[in-house]
């Protein structure tokens, strides 16, 4: 196989799976509205409910507790709110404790005011400081309402994994709610909402090879839910109004079944390839910094810096060499900005850092193309320093 380019930006978007494409196209061309009671409407409703079951099964949850959204950003804004209900009774959440390395969709706090948001510090590897979290929760004013903790299972830039079980224990001891952004973890690590003891998981379709435009909020139980973000026709049990994007949801469901299949085997192969790439990078440029290399990480992610390489310059240089990679998150309208993740880790946020993220379809040829491009970029930096 002779590929014209090496796609190494799976954390931004995974290539669309054949199974997801087939489901998306098949359902998109079906007539009828899923809320209609006639035969055509019921047929589309069955497709949505099948996808709901597939998504639930991918994280060990129940289909009844899956609310489909337009993506992870909407799911985050739905669940990050002070306004909850336990059954029919209102339940107040007075403060959001969010880790300092969250994706911007969570980091910005959703429907919480800036005054009601507190950052949880992380260590030099970007792992949540559990002692600091415990202190924050101990000091929480319980009379004002419940605390909510929002932490990602795996960081989108560094790939660092968080100790979710310990975070869940601390959160629930304080009577709080735990929201876990599992967008990058699904399909790369085994996920079980019950084992994690997360109250809510945030998921995204296009990160696992499904269509763009679909995501989900998965609750652990049926009775505790946030106030709706979108009101109207009462779809999704009233949790998210608006006619469902049935085609994208069907594709999401198809991708979810594949994401949950043979995760451990897939993770082992990805980690082996990622480690070989990093070892070669260190041989080519001994001064390369691979961030959080000694911390538990996603098996497919490497976040690295070269002295003197600006992220925007690096992206363009690799792109011209036929390699697609990114400078951290790709969810800021294409803008390259200082990394709040590096800043939270105690590093200079102006430090140029680039991310490669690979997937099941990444082959040795892709790795070789990246390493050759890396060699050229590093060589140009060396020549510039010498001059």
Query: What's the chain's Rg over C-alpha atoms?
Result: 21
Q: Are 354 and 314 in contact (CB under 8 A)?
A: yes
**Residues 16, 22: Cα–Cα separation, whole Å:** 10
Catalytic residue among 16, 63, 331, 363: 331
Partners of 69 in the β-ladder? 215
Q: Are 178 and 171 in contact (CB under 8 A)?
A: yes
Q: Are 185 and 191 in contact (CB under 8 A)?
A: yes
**Residues 223, 284: Cα–Cα separation, whole Å:** 55
Q: Are 196 and 168 in contact (CB under 8 A)?
A: yes
Provide the CA 310 distance to its chain's centre, in angstroms.
Answer: 25
What is the b/e burial string over 323-346, where b = at least 16 CB atoms within 10 angstroms of the residue's CB?
bbbbbbbbeeeeebeebbbbebbe
What is the b/e burial string over 267-304, where b = at least 16 CB atoms within 10 angstroms of the residue's CB?
beebbebbeebbebbeebbeebebbbeebebbbbbbbb
Nearest C-alpha neighbor of 157 from the set 354, 370, 335: 354
Q: Are 67 and 214 in contact (CB under 8 A)?
A: no
- For residue 266, what are the contacts with CB-CB under 8 A and spacing of at least 6? 187, 188, 360
Measuring CA to CA, how many Å separate 184 from each of 69, 209, 300?
17, 12, 10
The answer to whether 214 is a known catalytic residue is no
Report, as residue numbers or ranges, the catalytic residues.
331
């Amino acid at each position: 196989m002779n590929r014209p380019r090496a796609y190494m930006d799976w954390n931004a978007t995974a290539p669309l799976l054949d199974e997801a494409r087939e489901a998306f196209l098949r359902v998109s061309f079906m007539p009828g509205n899923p809320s209609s009671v006639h035969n055509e409407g019921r047929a589309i409703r069955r497709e949505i409910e099948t996808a709901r079951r597939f998504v639930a099964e991918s994280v060990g949850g129940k289909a009844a507790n899956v609310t489909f959204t337009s993506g992870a950003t909407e799911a985050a804004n739905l669940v990050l709110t002070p306004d909850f209900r336990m059954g029919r009774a209102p339940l107040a959440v007075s403060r959001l404790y969010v880790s300092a390395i969250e994706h911007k969709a969570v980091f910005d706090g959703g429907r919480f005011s800036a005054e009601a948001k507190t950052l949880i510090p992380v260590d030099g590897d970007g792992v949540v400081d559990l002692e600091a979290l415990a202190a924050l929760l101990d000091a929480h004013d319980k009379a004002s309402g419940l605390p909510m903790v929002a932490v990602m299972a795996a960081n989108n830039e560094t790939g660092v994994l968080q100790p979710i079980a310990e975070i869940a224990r601390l959160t629930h001891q304080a009577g709080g709610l735990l929201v876990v952004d599992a967008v990058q973890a699904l399909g790369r690590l085994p996920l079980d909402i019950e084992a994690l003891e997360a109250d809510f998981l945030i998921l995204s379709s296009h990160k696992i090879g499904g269509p763009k435009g679909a995501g989900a909020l998965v609750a652990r139980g049926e009775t505790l839910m946030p106030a709706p973000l979108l009101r109207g026709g009462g779809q999704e049990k009233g949790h998210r109004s608006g006619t469902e994007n049935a085609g994208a949801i069907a594709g999401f469901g198809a991708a979810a079944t594949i994401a949950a299949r043979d995760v451990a085997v897939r993770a082992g192969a990805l980690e082996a390839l990622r480690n070989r790439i990093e070892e070669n990078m260190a041989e080519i440029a001994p001064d390369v910094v691979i961030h959080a290399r000694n911390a538990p990480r996603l098996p497919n992610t490497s976040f690295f810096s070269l002295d003197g390489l600006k992220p925007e310059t690096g992206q363009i240089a690799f792109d011209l060499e036929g390699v697609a990679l990114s400078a951290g998150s790709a969810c800021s309208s294409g803008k390259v900005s200082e990394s709040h993740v590096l800043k939270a880790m105690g590093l200079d946020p102006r430090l140029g850092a680039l991310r490669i993220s690979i997937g099941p379809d990444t082959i040795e040829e892709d790795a070789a193309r990246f390493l050759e491009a890396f060699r050229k970029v590093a060589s140009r930096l060396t020549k510039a320093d010498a001059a």
